[in-house]
């Protein structure tokens, strides 16, 4: 399966889930975005590394990085390799003495380590197809092309036209989590008809 490289393009507070954050990954050289909801501690771990802050004592992800480096294990890449029931799965692809080792990981932890090791993050087409948001057009007018299933309770009461307007507004405000939920409702309706 061909891997698609992603960049971390945004980290924001989740509007729909209190105490959670959304990390938005963007397709390198493309318009697709992959929003992933993560916890507050994981968001802090990613933000600290992105801002090149040095805490007085190592955070858990710093400790893990230091441990890998001490044992001469190099983190080669992160692969977001599955999406089941709305949960993303990832693996750390490491190398030690020409031996490749894959380690199962929560996606948020994998991203926190990717920032620390400055290693690439990848996913697969089927994940972007099912959970991605595609932005097209200029900054003035953004159109969303979507694929996926699922829905948010309450959205079923809105008309398709209203949902499309809500989707455009969410994208303009870069609220990708809300956009993904609206997109899922629109997708569900198109499958039902």
Structure token digits, residue 35: 């929003």
More confident residue, 88 or 178: 88
Highest average pLDDT, of 50-54, 60-64, 154-158, comes from 60-64
Residue 141 pLDDT exceeds 50: no
Residue 148 pLDDT exceeds 50: no
Residue 139 pLDDT exceeds 50: no
Residue 140 pLDDT exceeds 60: no
Across the chain, mean pLDDT equals 82
Q: How confident is the model at residue 127 (pLDDT cuts 50, 70, 90)?
A: very high
Domains and CATH numbers, the chain: 3-129 (3.10.690.10), 137-192 (no CATH)
Note if the pTM is more than 0.85: no
142 close to 135: Cβ distance less than 8 angstroms: yes
Three-class SS of residue 89?
Answer: strand
CB atoms within 10 A of CB 66: 12
Please report the pLDDT score of residue 160 as a whole number. Answer: 76
């Amino acid at each position: 399966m061909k891997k698609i490289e992603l960049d971390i393009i945004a980290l924001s507070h989740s509007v729909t889930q209190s105490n959670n954050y959304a990390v938005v990954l963007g397709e390198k050289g493309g318009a697709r975005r992959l929003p992933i909801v993560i916890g507050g501690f994981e968001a802090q771990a990613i933000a600290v590394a992105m801002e090149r802050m040095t805490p007085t004592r190592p955070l858990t992800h710093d400790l893990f990085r230091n441990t890998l480096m001490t044992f001469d294990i190099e983190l080669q890449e992160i692969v977001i390799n599955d999406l089941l029931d709305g949960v993303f799965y990832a693996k750390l692809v490491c190398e030690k003495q020409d031996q490749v080792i894959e380690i199962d990981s929560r996606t948020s932890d994998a991203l926190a380590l990717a920032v620390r090791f400055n290693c690439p993050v990848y996913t697969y087409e089927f994940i972007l197809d099912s959970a991605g948001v595609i932005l097209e057009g200029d900054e003035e007018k953004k159109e969303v092309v979507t694929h996926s299933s699922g829905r948010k309770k309450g959205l079923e009461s809105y008309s398709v036209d209203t949902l499309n307007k809500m989707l455009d507004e969410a994208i303009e405000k870069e609220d990708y989590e809300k956009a993904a939920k609206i997109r899922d409702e629109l997708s569900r309706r198109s499958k039902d008809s």
